Amino acid sequence: MAHICAIGGGKGGSGKTFISANLGVILATHGKKVILIDLDLGASNLHTLVAQHHPKTGLHHFLNRSVKDLSLTAEATDVRGLFLITSLRCSLEAGNLFYSQKQKIIRAIGQLPADFVLLDIGAGTTYNTLDFFLAADQGLFILTPEPTSIQNTVQFIKAIYLRKLKLILKQDAFTILAKEVANESNDGVVMSPLDIVDRVMKREPERAKYLEGELNKLTFRLILNQHRSHIDSHLGQKIEKVCNRHFYSQFKFLGNIAHNERVSDSIIAKKIFVLKYPYTATTTDLKSLANRIVATRIEQPAIREEYAYV
């Protein structure tokens, strides 16, 4: 079964698509079968970053039922082993997906024949983004070392949290509380997820343990993109620490990705960055990130051995 990684992060322009594309390329060049899915519905870019300029098929064929099997909408790219499902030709209203369509996509993703499925998720905290994120085996958050980005990340984490929390509350007969929570958030002020947990704990301490356990199962992985040398090199670790201290779930910092002017060049040239600029700190960072992602999946990192002397 494929290992599904969602790549998200609240803010636009933080590098979600860039990292998805290049991570996909690295994994594919090391012999993995990788399917990239552009789930940034209504703002598809991923095809450009993997140099697949004129995709013929895509998610729209699956949504309009002209193909039954999602894997048939995956197109081979120039990189061996790397496939792309673009949403470029989806309807302009695809951003507002129906619930049933979303469920259909999520179910189909789970059955894709690949080693890795990377979901490039859009910015913002709409239900689509959150649900695609929660459907993955591992969720990667991309943030940049700017207060705006950190802020949006916190919002995204809280939104994911609230979404999960509501699902748990609904599933497990916390109905009265769930209603209360739902009503309160309809007033326009969304309660902090932590407040909700606190409330449940006070009211029903016997269920609190269960709730805590469920939230503890969530693991978030953080990646600090566009890291420049003058920035505190421990920023990522510090954010990880604060998250672990003040939220109920588990957070893991996976590492920095160095900032590089050439990233923009490669996008303008519509070329794949890691192939165009293989000897840059940014590429090295992306490779070690790929290593850590593979390592979380299988105990023995398959890539590391090959990197050893290259």
Which stretches of the chain bind another protein, using CB under 8 A?
A: 145-147, 150-151, 153-154, 212, 216, 232, 235, 238-239, 241-242, 245-246, 248, 308-309
**CB 298 → another protein: shortest distance, Å?**
24
105 alpha carbon, distance to own chain's centre: 16
Look up tokens 């050893």; give the residue: 308
Q: How far is the CB of 23 from another protein (least distance, A)?
A: 25
How far apart are CB 86 and another protein at their closest, in Å?
A: 33
CB of 241 to another protein, least distance (A): 7
How far apart, in whole angstroms, are the C-alpha atoms of residue 45 and residue 112?
Answer: 22
Q: Quick one: 71 or 185, whose CB is closer to another protein?
A: 185
Rank residues 97 and 303 by Cβ distance to another protein and give the closer one. Answer: 303
The nearer residue to another protein, 179 or 234, going by C-beta atoms, is 234
* Separation CA 20–CA 37 (nearest Å): 9
Burial class (CB in 10 A: 0-12, 13-18, 19+), 277: middle
Instruction: Give min distance, CB of 245 to another protein, in A.
Output: 6
CB 154, min distance to another protein, A: 5
Please, which residue, 217 or 246, has the CB nearer to another protein? 246
Q: Whole-number minimum distance, CB 71 to another protein, in Å?
A: 39
Is the CB of 70 or the CB of 303 nearer to another protein? 303
C-beta of 78 vs 306, nearer to another protein = 306
For residue 212, give every residue at least 6 positions away whose Cβ sits within 8 Å of its Cβ, in sequence order, or none.
Answer: 197, 248
| Residue 140 Cβ vs another protein, minimum distance, rounded to whole Å | 19
Residue 68 or 245 with smaller CB distance to another protein: 245
Name the residue with tokens 């599904």: 4
Q: Smaller CB distance to another protein: residue 107 or 209?
A: 209
Nearer to another protein, 217 or 245 (CB): 245
What is the Cβ-side half-sphere exposure of residue 36, based on CA atoms within 13 angstroms?
36
Q: What tokens were used for 143?
A: 């943030």
For residue 76, list its beta bridge partners: 83
CB 74 within 8 A of CB 82: no
Closest approach, Cβ 253 to another protein, in A, equals 13
